[in-house]
Each structure stands twice: as C-alpha cells, then as structure tokens.
Structure 1
C-alpha cells in the first residue's frame, strides 16, 4: 500500500488541518463496497462525512488500480434543472474526469466507483434508490458510496413524507453509521492511534514534542 499524503492541490485533499487518513475505516468501507456493491454512510452534520469520502477517493486513486473513483456533490432536481438522474450522473462523471489528475494514469478497464456527497438530496429519485437496493454485483456495474445526513427528511411523492430517508430503507449490510465522539460534540469518534497521529502532526507543525501522557489525557 502506498503511503501518500494528499498534497495541497490534490482534488482528493479534504482541506483539513492535521488530517488522519483513517486507513482501517477507509479500507473497511472499500472492501464492503466491493462485496455488496453499494455502501451508504450516514451521520449527523459536521462529523467528517465529506472528509471521509475524500479519504476513500484518495486511497482508491493510489492503491486500487482496478477502481476509477468519481466524486461529486448530489444536486436536487430543481438545482440541476430537472436533468434525469442517469444523465446527471454521466455529466458529473465527465466533469470530474476533466479535473482529476491523470497521475497515476487512469486504467481504461477499471470499474467505476461513484463517491456521492450530500446524497440525501437524491431521496426524490425513487427509481435510483430502488436500483441501488436491487443492484447486482457484476463486473460492469458501477460501485456506489453515498454520504447522507442522518435524519434528513425523505422527499417522496409516493411515500409518507415523514419517512426518514431512502437510505434508511437499505439493508443493514449496506449501511455505515458515524456517531459523534459524544452527544453534542460534532466530531467523529477516533481510535487511540488516530488521535496520536493528529496530535503528533499538530505538535510537529508547532515545533513541539508530545508525550504519550498527552494522548492519554485527550482520550480520557
């Protein structure tokens, strides 16, 4: 596995200070996506969903040559001038591939994997979500990783509008739920080793050394 840090101009750079690449979580989501075809990440706002999605894309770009990642933020029908969702996805794919660097060179036989942010905006696309639920894991079918705000209201002409979300109707094996570190704290729970990475990066940047006791205190 190559150990690349996202550079400042990298399209996969999540623009976070002292980032931890969260390899265990990232590789687990990629493996499950390969196994099940679709993974839906749900979390409250501001816990790091978009950052995680960029980290997944960065890892794939440098370590998974048989996958071709495409990232975009889903727009509602109104915001995209009612373009059919199939056409919209193809348009976003073309736009992304224009700006994504070709280093490493794109593999023409790679399988597409869509990394879709703000996917709760797609809840009105009932056919899309029905297809995701019934997706067959074939060599020609693209993979999907969708990030949704936990608890976002569903948009539906056929279902009761109180339905929480289309994502909630997915099978549990397709779901990843990210929780804040503790109630009221808008940050994703980190493992001890991940906290050490973040603290050490901050300390090095500030010209300090950090004792193990500092990490233990932060975790306490």
Structure 2
C-alpha cells in the first residue's frame, strides 16, 4: 500500500478494500492489521500510561465493528494524523476511548468530503448533459442550442444520516466523558470509572452498554 496518503480525498479515491471486506475474507488478518496500527501509534507517542494487550484487542474489535467502511488508506491517514497532533496533543496517557472518539471525528470529516466529491461529480454530469438521457441526438443538440450554456443549478447539500452504530458510539463516548468527570479514578494508567464496586474502562463500559442495548 502506498504510504503518501495525505488527504481524505486521496483516501476515498484510492479504491482500496474496506476493512469489512478484509474481515469477510479473513477476520484474523483484519483484526491483526487494526491491532498493528494501534500498537504502532502507542509506541510512537511514548507516553507514560500506555494500552495493554487487552485494551488494544478490545479497541480493534470496536473499530472493526463501528467503522467497517474505512479502508486501509483511512487507517493509515487517521493514525498519521494522530501522530502529527491533528486531533490534539497526548500528554501522559492514551486509551481506547480516546482513539475511538478521535476516529469518530475523522469519520465525520470523511463523510463531509465524500458528500462534496459526490456533489461535484453530479454538477459535472449536469454540466455535460443538462437535459438528461433518453432523447435523440438531434433533439439534444437543438435543446442545447436553445438553452445555451446555462450554469448548472446548485445542488443543496444533504447531510448524511449516521448509522445506528455511529450514533450509539457517539452517545456512549459522551456518557463516559460525563461519568468520568464525576466518578473517574485518578492516578491510573488510562481512564476508568468506579461505579459501586465495579471499575470500568471505556471498552468495558461500551461492551456493557452494547449488551444492555441488546437485552
């Protein structure tokens, strides 16, 4: 895979397979690929409080579950942006919740860019053939001559509807942040909540919410 993806537009136009397709062909390979990106980021940041193997594993599971539309170029660009501080600085720790929340930001940027590319393509198609298909070539020529070179109409931007998984993940992230401000455990390697006699990291919290949602 080329290593010079520097924009979301390049990523979208790369035509690389999505991680959902890779997972369908070989789930273990997909899992290992995502884990490798996470491990590489953690090693690069060199913060005091890092992710253990279990946290890395859980985070990769949620990435595969809630961001299946990402392709390999998406992962490369996203984690490069994380290293460059595009989504903020890392001070003393990095965890799954932080990675997933930043990935949600990237996903929103990607959706916006995809919509812009789609609209640009649609405007170009209208410009090339403003009267549509299905007419005899002579009729098309006559109509074009009659209407002249009119500017293609502006297409109103339609906001993409988020998937149920994306909405659920965003809601869980907000809930975890709110709870952490009240019940967060300080001086720990990562972000944890103490709810009664239970201590939950974000991945355990997300899994618990998911199980409650299913029941």
Short-chain TM bin? under 0.3
Task: From the CA coordinates, give the structure whose radius of gyration is larger.
Answer: 2
| Higher RCO (CA-CA < 8 Å; seq separation 6+) | 1
| TM-score for both structures, normalised by structure 2 | 0.25
Structure holding more strand per residue? 1
